[in-house]
Structure 1
Amino acid sequence: MKKRFSILVYLLLPCALLVACSSEQPSAGDEAALPLISAAEAGDSQRISALLMDKTAVDSRDSCRWTPLMKASLYGHAEATNLLLTAGAQLDLTDKGGYSALMLAASNNHFVVVQQLLEQGANPNMQESTHGWTALIWAAKRGHKESVAALIQGGAAIGIRDFDGENARSWATKNHHTEVLEVLNALPVVSRSHLQQSTHDSLEKGEST
């Protein structure tokens, strides 16, 4: 019973954050941001394109500090995400809880969007400010093996621990996500950070010869 309650809390947390922010009175700036944010939430690519053509700021924020990219990522709208990225949306902005677009996509297993964000340079190792969860921890604790695999290939560090000392592997173990554990334990793991380090080492070696 306790386990079921814990899982329910994790699933409802993003919804709770939305409700808490929605009770705040929007400012004039928030009101101006709402059309693009609403279009991103709905995945309305035509509306997004039209608003961007009208010079609506691509990183407009609402009272929760959500951006259009965060909304598109949360709901897995790949085309909308691509439009916003092409328009210059900042990848690693966070909302009031410290959640980035990558975390939101990974927490709901929108792995195509996860890949899009990583390919554009999103930081996979950011930690939100409430529990210290990374995008990888989010995906692992929810059993999203596709997003876990994409994040590892994109440079996510497996060993980062949250504020309670848990990491992606311990969360997957605790929640009995065996397929996620298989991905986490698979070797060799070739990540972007490893490739960058190898390139750096090669350059240093070349300079010393």
Structure 2
Amino acid sequence: MLILKSLEGMLSAGADPNEYDREHEGWTPLTTAAFYGRHDAIEILLKHGASIDYPHEQGMTPLMMAVQQNDLDTMEQLLYHGADVAKGNHENQTALFLAAQEGKVDAMRVLIDHHSPVSTPS
């Protein structure tokens, strides 16, 4: 709880919710929260202007990070807030492509239910 209050305080004081963490492969606060399934932190970050589709430096969006973890609840949360299912990473791979590549059938269902285009990178 203290960490969340600190997060809220830093953002209220003007911290950039989309700033890259250079020590952790350029992850953003939202990609980190999505990777670890921190729904509370996701809500705080979005409330303070974090971009739902802002990727980390390797091009992975918060939705892709949730797919990587096979975290269906976090995927649903991000999709509820408008995550773009069609957005590709630096290799033009979508969240659905990544889920299929890793055999994550339940994640694929969630994405298809949210009208993810079924295509492969060109």
Give the 3-state SS of the residue equivalent to 1:139 in structure 2. helix
In 1: Cα distance, 2:98 partner to 2:85 partner: 11
Give the 3-state SS of the residue equivalent to 2:115 in structure 1. coil
In 1: Cα distance, 2:19 partner to 2:59 partner: 17
Cα pair 1:102 1:117 within 8 Å, conserved: yes
The answer for unaligned runs of 5 or more in structure 1 is 1-43, 164-209
Structure-to-structure mapping, 1:119-138, within 5 angstroms: 119-130=80-91, 132-138=92-98
In 2: Cα distance, 1:98 partner to 1:45 partner: 26
Cα pair 1:61 1:67 within 8 Å, conserved: yes
Structure (1 or 2) with the larger CA radius of gyration: 1
Q: Following TM superposition, by how much is the alpha carbon of 1:106 offset from its aligned partner in structure 2, in angstroms?
A: 0.9
The answer for unaligned runs of 5 or more in structure 2 is none
Q: If the length of structure 2 is used for normalisation, what is the TM-score?
A: 0.84
In 2: Cα distance, 1:72 partner to 1:78 partner: 7
Q: RCO higher in 1 or 2 (8 Å CA, sep ≥ 6)?
A: 2
1:142 maps to a residue whose letter is E
Matched, 1:84 2:42: no
2:14 maps to a residue whose letter is K
In 2: Cα distance, 1:109 partner to 1:47 partner: 28
1:144 — aligned with what? 104
Cα pair 1:65 1:94 within 8 Å, conserved: no
2:7 — aligned with what? 48
Greater displacement, 73-82 / 55-64: 55-64
Q: Following TM superposition, by how much is the alpha carbon of 1:135 offset from its aligned partner in structure 2, in angstroms?
A: 0.5
Q: Which has the higher helix share?
A: 1
